[in-house]
Structure formats: structure tokens, C-alpha cells
Amino acid sequence: MHGAAGGVGAVVTRLAREAGAYVIGTGRTADRRPALDFGAREFVDLDNDALDEVGTVDLVFDVIGGDVGKRSAGLVRAGGVLVTIAGPPEARPPEGLAVDFVVEPDRAQLAEIVQRLRDGRLRTNIRTVVTLDDAVTAFNPTTRPTGKTIIRVHP
């Protein structure tokens, strides 16, 4: 799981754990605690740890892409899958499958996710909620905050 502290990564981590998966989160140093809090059993710091020391895995869910996505392809065991939401896979597992994951809205699935949020089985990582008037200042390109920013359109 790459980028497990982020929005999609956090949700996928929780859903994978609920399904019984052993999740190894990856990201930057600041992502370690949130990744573990969201359910990753281990964490690989992409700046300081060797990604290839993870060994082989059944599934990689890549939200970063680029070099990390390419390196991850080599971790997928024979018959395993590399799923990416960062665009078409730039590398394929030697004996596995690479999938470009595209989200298509589905009312029933979204209702299930809302129910999981309400009953506490799924958590989100929301940093702040701002009004539409404050949206520009909420996104400062010089910082990399943890958590998502929600823009409230209606008062």
C-alpha cells in the first residue's frame, strides 16, 4: 500500500484490514503514524527504508506512481496484482497482473461506504473544513499537511 496516510490509501488500508489482509503501508516519514493508525501492520519509509526488503506480496495498491510504482512491480508474487490509481502502470509484475484502477460512481457502494463511516468501521483523515471563500488560502503549495481539506460549498 503506497501512500497509506492519504485519503484513498487510508480507506483502502481499512477495507483491506477488514477483509483480513496483512497491510504494509508505505510513504514518507510523516506518514508512518497515520498509516499504522489506519491499520497497516508495518510501514516502509520510502526515504529511508529499502522497499525491496518487503519481499513478495499478493497485491500492491499504488497511489503514488512514478519510480515507486515501477519498483513495486518487482514485489508482486507470481499470480499477484499491481493496482494503480496514479495512471496507467509504467511497469508490470514479471508473473502477475497490472491494473489501472478507475473509479466509477455506484450509489449502492457509496451508501455502503457511508454506513461504514457512520458505524466506525471506516475512518477518514480530514485535516480541516473551510468555506469556498477560504479555499485558495487553504491550499498552500509550500507545505505538505497531513490529512485532507474539505471545501464546504453551502453555509
- Give whole-number Cα distances, 72 to 95, 126, 138, in Å: 13, 28, 33
Cell numbers standing for residue 11: 480507506
Mean pLDDT across 110-123:
82
State how far the Cα of 148 lies from the Cα of 128, in Å rounded to an integer: 7
- For residue 149, pLDDT beyond 70: yes
Model-wide pTM > 0.75: no
| Res 4: pLDDT | 44
CA distance 45 to 28: 5
Q: CB count, 10 Å around CB of 75?
A: 21
Distance CA 132, CA 151 (A): 6
Cite the residue boundaries of each domain of the chain with CATH code 3.40.50.720.
7-100
CATH fold, domain 7-100, is Rossmann fold (3.40.50)
